[in-house]
Amino acid sequence: MDLSNINPILLVASIMISATPILLAAIGEMVVEKSGVLNLGVEGMMITGAVIGFIVAINTGAPLLGFAMAALAGALLSLAFGVLTQVFLSNQVATGLGLTLLGLGLSSLLGKPYEGMKAETLPKLDIPLLGDLPVVGRMLFSHDIMVYLSLCIVVAVWAFLKYTRAGLILRAVGESHDSAHALGYKVIRVRLLAIMFGGACAGLGGAYLSLVRVPQWTEGMTAGAGWIALAIVVFASWRAGRVLIGAYLFGGISVLQLNLQAAGLTWGVQYLSMSPYLITILVLVFISSNRSRSSHDAPANLGQTFHATR
Amino acid sequence: MIRRTLLATAAAGLTLAFGAPAMAQDTTKACFVYVGPIGDGGWTYQHHQGALAVKEEYGDKVEIAWQESVPEGADAERVITQMALSGCNIIFTTSFGYMDPTNNVAAKFPDVKFEHSTGYKREHPNVSTYNARFYEGRAVVGHIAGKMTETNKIGYIGSFPIPEVIMGINSYYHHAKLANPDVELVVTWAYTWFDPAKEADAARAMLDQGVDVITAHTDSTAPLAEIAKEGGSAWGFGQASDMAAFTTNDDGTPGPRIASIIDEWSPYYIKRVGALMDGTYEQIDSWAGMPEGEVVIGTMNDAIPDDVKAEAQAMIDAISAGEYHPFTGPINKQDGSAWLAEGETADDGTLLGMDFYIEGITGDIPN
């Protein structure tokens, strides 16, 4: 084993790239869950974003347009989920699972002609001054624009939920939809908007996979990333800052264990790769065993159906 | 009496209408169970090419059917049963994990032929197994890797630590070492057959540590896409399928895929379906390779110097002619104990159960 082979600068740089898709999907899902809706269709929306982003980037040669269309496709798909669950009051768990299956099938259908093709990828940003700094320049300031956009989204979501009136309303809807309704807030409208934001973020995350991280389209390429995003939201106990930590931890451990293997470590890598899931289970146990600490709790009305006449 | 005759006639008519075609067998139905999507561009894609070749060869005399992305385990048993019920005459199950489901279903349908790929269990007379000698291909790309590396570090992305993969690692390293005594091998285990993001991460981890030639034992093209980001200072190989999209870059320079190991199942599928149709079908355990055309090295691109191409071609010719076995001694095991003496070749039993690295590979095989 020779750990000196691992270059910490390159390691951090590849962790940031590896974590970006799940970070985007997780921060979107967190907003959805904050509004009291459980959308288990993250995987389906991600892979739809991946295929749409790839198709648009191939046909137009503009990867950024691909990202925009991927976000739109994710939002539209999630709107179907929103209408079913919010207007027709269908079961959120079943509908979310259905959305995943729909997304997987739809993407493989749409993506058939694009297998094996290569798309234009996003250029690395050349940030003046910051990018020239030793060590941190290569580590933090030489990525593509989506890495920074994902971080901006996290900060924006945090500020939105903490400091704005709209954010307060969204949280109120998630904590008690009946009270929010009694106060005259449009519960369904708020939730639909949150669902669409979640879909757009998942779409961006998927497009990051197909356009930057693995720059190609392969059927089923998300391979469970959407489920990891869902786990991160729980792990983060519904807080934006912790979503960031969780996503970088999940992505980081996956990259780190491969680097350790390449450096010659063979013992214990399996344990390292399962550790994020173990931590998630521990967090869940902690949350459910400690009811007094409401700050760790899930939104009170998470997953519950709202009907104004009740 | 008349009524009874009428019923009897009707019964006979029904038998003629519905029973007879099943017995007469105008067409033979060949069915395929795939572990991944056909669009993986690798393992499953090649099996499907074999299925299409059967249809091409026999035309209207055969009918083919398939199911993609069938999980290994209980679901597989349900899918295989469904296929047997739907009139398949021969069912090819194309992943190691279908071994027990295939044998379980075979017990219930003695008239249907079952063919399981890469396994070893033939519990019933209607179950055959087939595999290809992929280590012959690994030997050729190992030689190329040894010649191409400039950092003297070559990589292997393993899926799971099973004999099939360990055999590939040993063959790859042995021939790289023969071509370049200074070569060092880095192995990473992805613990998946198909997860493009993870496969790309594995390639990235190795590239970051100075590995410049990588071969993958997973199913997607993601490692090649990751290698392509190095812009011509690192190389890889197509795995299972030709992965020709990576042979040449858009600007005409040689791409990251410098050669490939192609699984060519068509000859086997055509032979077996043909045997079933003309009545010469027998239970077998097939393990064919380059001589039979089941393992093929794809076009070598221009990143490889001409003399290395010629050496690789000579090795392909020798293996195809049966003159060279990739595991020919002297080869020691990792701990230094003797495995093969000078000129001795490995027997199939040892290869199929291979659970050790050869001398020179560092690290342990995970349990």
* pLDDT tens-digit series, residues B27-67: 899 999 998 888 777 889 999 999 999 999 999 999 999 99
CB atoms within 10 A of CB B111: 7
Give me the amino acid identity at B1: M
Q: How confident is the model at residue A290 (pLDDT cuts 50, 70, 90)?
A: low
Are A46 and A102 in contact by the 8 Å Cβ rule? The answer is no
B100 pLDDT more than 90: yes
Chain A within 8 Å of B211 (Cβ-Cβ)?
yes
Q: Residue B312 sits in a domain of what CATH number? A: 3.40.50.2300
Judge if B89 and B154 occupy the same domain. no
Average pLDDT for A205-228: 89
* Strands lying side by side in the sheet with B62-67: B62-67, B28-33, B90-93, B113-117, B127-132, B285-288
Residue B358 domain-assigned? no
Residue B282 domain-assigned? no
Mean pLDDT for chain B overall: 88
Q: How confident is the model at residue A211 (pLDDT cuts 50, 70, 90)?
A: very high
Chain B residues in contact with A6 by the CB 8 A cut-off are 208-209
Average pLDDT for B164-184: 95
Largest CA distance in chain B: 93
Distance from CA of B315 to the nearest CA of A (A): 29
Judge if B320 and B196 occupy the same domain. yes
Could you read off the pLDDT of B132-156 as tens digits, one per residue?
999 999 999 999 999 999 999 999 9
d(CA B180, CA B151) in angstroms, rounded, equals 11
Judge if B125 and B141 occupy the same domain. no
Chain B residues in contact with A216 by the CB 8 A cut-off are 196, 221-222, 225
Chain A within 8 Å of B205 (Cβ-Cβ)?
yes
Q: Do B41 and A5 touch (CB under 8 A)?
A: no
B21 pLDDT more than 50: no
Q: Do A223 and B191 touch (CB under 8 A)?
A: no
Could you read off the pLDDT of A130-181 as tens digits, one per residue?
777 777 777 788 888 999 999 999 999 999 999 999 999 999 999 999 999 9
Give me the amino acid identity at A138: R
Chain B residues in contact with A51 by the CB 8 A cut-off are none
Q: First vs last Cα of chain B: how many Å apart?
A: 74
d(CA B343, CA B160) in angstroms, rounded, equals 31
Q: In B267-293, which positions are buried (b, 16+ CB within 10 angstroms) versus exposed (e)?
A: ebbbbbbbebbeeebeeeebbbbbebe
Q: How confident is the model at residue A287 (pLDDT cuts 50, 70, 90)?
A: low
Q: Write down the ipTM of this complex.
A: 0.81
Higher-confidence position of A96 and A283: A96
Q: Do A262 and B204 touch (CB under 8 A)?
A: no
Percent of chain B whose pLDDT exceeds 70: 93
Q: How confident is the model at residue B190 (pLDDT cuts 50, 70, 90)?
A: confident
Judge if B96 and B7 occupy the same domain. yes
CB atoms within 10 A of CB A65: 14
Per-residue DSSP letter, A302: T
Q: How confident is the model at residue B74 (pLDDT cuts 50, 70, 90)?
A: confident
CA B198 → CA B54, B112, B236, distances in Å? 34, 39, 17
Q: Do B191 and A270 touch (CB under 8 A)?
A: yes
CA B74 → CA A46, A161, B78, B86, distances in Å? 28, 45, 7, 19
pLDDT score recorded for residue B18: 43
Q: Which of A112, A218, A222 sits opposite B221 (nearest CB)?
A: A218
Could you give the residue ranges of the DSSP H alpha helices within chain A? 8-34, 42-60, 63-82, 92-111, 136-140, 145-163, 165-175, 177-182, 187-208, 225-235, 240-262, 269-289
Judge if B84 and B175 occupy the same domain. no
Which chain B residue has its CA at the smallest distance from A13's CA? B208
The H or E element that residue B113 is part of is: strand B113-117
- Domain end call among B107, B132, B157: B132
Judge if B149 and B250 occupy the same domain. yes
Judge if B123 and B186 occupy the same domain. no
A260 pLDDT more than 50: yes
pLDDT score recorded for residue B141: 95
Distance from CA of A35 to the nearest CA of B (A): 31
Residue B90 domain-assigned? yes
Chain A within 8 Å of B364 (Cβ-Cβ)?
yes
Chain B within 8 Å of A263 (Cβ-Cβ)?
yes
Q: Suggest the residue from B35, B195, B219, B251 to mutate for an interface test with chain A (most A CBs closer than 10 A).
A: B195
Average pLDDT for B298-322: 94
- Domain end call among B132, B148, B175: B132
Distance from CA of B161 to the nearest CA of A (A): 12
Residue B9 domain-assigned? yes
Judge if B243 and B327 occupy the same domain. yes
Could you read off the pLDDT of B198-215 as tens digits, one per residue?
899 999 999 999 999 999
d(CA A182, CA A173) in angstroms, rounded, equals 11
pLDDT score recorded for residue B6: 46
A2 pLDDT more than 70: no
d(CA B326, CA B143) in angstroms, rounded, equals 11
Residue B166 domain-assigned? yes
CB atoms within 10 A of CB A310: 8
Range of the domain at B82: 2-132
Give me the amino acid identity at A29: E
- Topology of domain A3-296 in CATH is ABC transporter involved in vitamin B12 uptake, BtuC (1.10.3470)
Q: Do A270 and B220 touch (CB under 8 A)?
A: no
CA B141 → CA B297, B299, B326, distances in Å? 8, 12, 12
Higher-confidence position of B25 and B253: B253
Average pLDDT for B303-329: 94
Judge if B252 and B316 occupy the same domain. yes
Judge if B156 and B109 occupy the same domain. no
Judge if B98 and B142 occupy the same domain. no
B252 pLDDT more than 70: yes
Percent of chain B whose pLDDT exceeds 90: 68
* Total structural domains within chain B: 2
Judge if B128 and B141 occupy the same domain. no
pLDDT score recorded for residue A292: 58
pLDDT score recorded for residue B13: 45
Average pLDDT for A54-68: 93
B224 pLDDT more than 70: yes
Give me the amino acid identity at B185: L
Distance from CA of B78 to the nearest CA of A (A): 20
